[in-house]
Structure 1
Amino acid sequence: MSPVPISLLNSIKHSKIPYLFWLAVLLLCALPAVTSAQEVTEQDTAVAAAPTWPEDSLGRRTPRGTVSGFIKAVADGDYTRAAFYLNLVSPTDTIQDGAAMAQALQRMLDQRSKTIPRSWISNLPEGDLDDNLPQNLERVGTATVDEQNVDILLEKTEGPAGGPIWLIAAETLKQVPLQEAAPAETVVEKTLPGFLEENRWGGAPTGHWLGLLLIGIVSYLLAWGITSGLIFVIGYIWRRTRNEPTYGFISAFSLPVRLYLAALLLVYLSQRLGISFVLRQRFSELTIIIGLIAVLLLLWRLVDVITSFSKRRLVERHNMGGISIVLFLQRGAKIALVVFGVIFILSTLGFDVTTGLAALGIGGIALALGAQKTVENFVGSVTLIADQPIRVGDFCKVGDTSGTVEQIGMRSTRLRTTERTIVTIPNGDFSSQKIENFAHRDRFLFSPTLRLRYDTTPPQIQAVLRSLRETLSAHPKIEKTSARVRLTEITADALKVEVFSYILTRDFNEHLEIKEGLLITMMDAVNSKGKGFALPVQQLLVSNDGAGMEEGKDKAS
């Protein structure tokens, strides 16, 4: 970092400028130096991390390379080359001893062993640093010798030209039984005829390939029998499973559980019966993929079951817009399952999916930026479905538009106006506007204002008021607690009488019928008890020269 001048520090000390300002200046001065130091440190780290040793001809720089190289050498029957993957620490060991040890190790692995799929083994020179093992050790599987578990470990050593060389650890080799102490023949070796053991294909005896195929068929049949039996027992004990939606959930589990159980049985039986570990290692990724497909298939079927159940409930509630939301979410969930499954399968097979994930992230950002209005409309549709301010069939007013809701879609909502036209409003705009829903009205307001003639006498006014109050109180559809009739104002041309009440009905046509009857009755009361309604007033204006000009001025009656 470049030093700060002393003069600048003294000026700070004696200056009247606020201290925070000078602190900001100091930070700006120091920032280039900090950045430069950080860049130098990063460059040094990158240079230090770059490997300076040459490539190993046997591919033993990483744990995965060592496992792959040993399996290939054993599959080719080249035990001399396989010996170079063993950590023969004893100085008396010869290359022939190493070949014999490699053959004995293969036999131990053929008996009862569990090895990690090659794609899951670290492909870094330093190995997996998060496996709770010393940094120079890597566990790649386990084997059973004399009913005891033996860890199959790799040990990191230093090669002649420098750099790490991963070898099968001496600690594991000490547990390998020698040829004279080798365990008895496996079930497959006892069962297969000699010519199927002698003929090899793909690094394993031909009989082992046939045995693995037969074990796969038997495993699936056993899994099918177990799952069918469980479904029968559950249906017999729990009667509710015969009805929807419980039956849908139970049936959704049947096929995925059957596949997953078949994969587990295949792995277990191939280990117990002594299928060659070379062959098992070739198909280790396949069993993992089958298990993943079973899980994804279970989620896929559960999405279908939940969607079907939700659609039935929404149809019962006449919520057609909710069905669109459910179908959209169903498609989105299935697309996510497919993308996740493809990425995981490629990763299991050993492909580098980092670049693909980065491309998906960039593509997702670009898609989100380009589809802002679509996302906004989708969120608006979700809001309309969740809050339910409107439903299909409701008469509402949105902004300046009034009409009956005909459809609530994923992008927009359609209204049928009183002019019988269709107005389409994007859901993003629809949900952000003021919505007045007339369908939820529980009663109608009846509040006319009656204008009596100015020459109506006070006794006549009282008679009119009594008659109007009796009309409201006698009607069965008028709410009595809120009904009132009052003389509210004396204007220059009329006496105003305000009527306020609620008509107890939700039907608009019935409301109009009741309103019509009440208005006719009130007109009769005003004409019979008083002197009628006030009429519009006309004024005659006369000019100075005698010419007359008549101007009509209507007053609201």
Structure 2
Amino acid sequence: MSTLALPRRLVLLVALALLAALPAGAQPAPASEPAAITPAPQPAPEDPYDRGTPRGAVEGFLAAARARDWARATAYLDLRGVRPAATDEEEAVRLAQRFELVLGRTLAIDLDALSDDPAGRSDDGLDARRDLVGRIDAATPPLSVYLERVAREDGVRIWKFSRATLREVPRLWEQFGDDALVEWLPEPLVSWTVFGLRLWQWIGLASLAFAAALLAVTAKAIAGWVLRPLMRRAPSVRVALAPLATLLGIALFSASRALLKLSMAANDTLGAAASIATLLVLTWLAFRLVDAAERRIAARLRQRAQPADVAALVLGRRAVKAAVGVLAALAILQNAGVNVTGLLAGLGVGGIAVALAAQKSLENLFGGLTIVADQPVRVGDFCRFGDKIGTVEEIGLRSTRVRTLERTMVTIPNSQFSSMEIENFARRDRFWYRPTLNLRYESTPDQIRWLLVALREVLYAHPCVDPNPARVRFVGLGASSLDLEVFAYVNAKDFDEFLEVAEDLNLRIMETVAKSGTGFAIPSQTLYVRPDGERDERAAADVEAEVARWRESGELALPRFSPERVRRLAGTLDYPPRGSVLRT
């Protein structure tokens, strides 16, 4: 044996072992079969009427009908065996006219669903020579409209409306055709068309609209006369009359338009318009009822002396009307053919962007709700906000309007107004009266003591001054005067009444100061060589004598009056003063 034979055999054995150890998945995969190739559709045969495809045949027939070219329209009808149209040209034209009218009134043809293939649809389960255009379910019995592929004179295959369909045209005409009255109309009224409707149909629509409007007006007048006693007790009935009469007119128009035998397209358009009009009128009715309810509740609140709650009522009315308006808008869009579900889904996806864009509006809305709920101010309140002062006239969804003392109107966004420091003067239970009396330095201590007692008597005796607290104090020695502070609260219903009481108190204080023998100081830094007025020695002596008598008898009402004396003085002052027009 050769020395090279052993290594060769060893290599062969190792190779065989490796091949045996390979898994089955490692075997080369068989070549895949080539995918089936769908043959491209054959081009449509040349035809002067474009009847090479089902879609072309239907479009051509409808175009010829719109152009009133009835001789051309008959070229799309398979009249073989259809008597008498097969042999009579006038009958063929009449058949085409009636067929087009019946199709327009009973069948909404979807041209996009028709085949552009010369061979027609192969997945409809019909004979290869037949394609379905649509089904007239309103017919009795229902009828399917077919196209059929027939041979032209030269043998080329084209599409026409089938003979079986055309034989049913007389039956369809009896159900959906013109009435006998139309046959007596002048030719222009029947033959002239505007936007797919014949002239007599336009005249009929105008007549129906006029009759519906006349009925609505008449019904409103009759209902107003019959329901007059009820409207006196329930004013909301009056606001509902006009919308309800309008709804009656719309219902009459919708029910009567079937007499005109309009096309399906016109009926769909008018039906959508009637639905939108009905929604608008219902929205109008809802708005009027909300306004009437708001007025009724506001009147009750005013009767109960709760006029401030009217602001919340106004805000609620606006919120309800806004919600009704949004729902009405969505319903109108739905009737107009807009996909509201998709629209709302799109708004949901873009909700973050909308929220960012409407951030300020939402802040103002919640600010308005905060103002109404917390009620720092109400409509009619006199308040100070920031550096301005005025009367609140309106609290809206977005802003609050305040009438200033200059009679200008200030509009503040609710988000800002709700976060401002607001001083509400209308909520005051009492008015603060605090003048400071600057008396001459020539006044003696006993004159000051007498004034303290006499001025307190004025406060305690006045019926519009709250005695708790009511005080007069000698508070300081000023640069040019002896200062007495009067501190009291005045019971008044508004600021005007407070000014009346303050005026009376000021006059009585002047009389009391004059009676004490002293006077008010005149602040001045000018040097003078004579006194600014002679001292009333007699009055001063009388006051000092009376204070001495108080000391001797133990009746000096300093530093405060006894409760018994306060009760004895209460309401004894003559107010309104004698001679006032306010005295009864």
> Shorter-normalised TM-score: what interval?
0.3 to 0.5
TM-score (norm 1): 0.46
TM-score (norm 2): 0.44
Q: Which has the larger radius of gyration?
A: 2
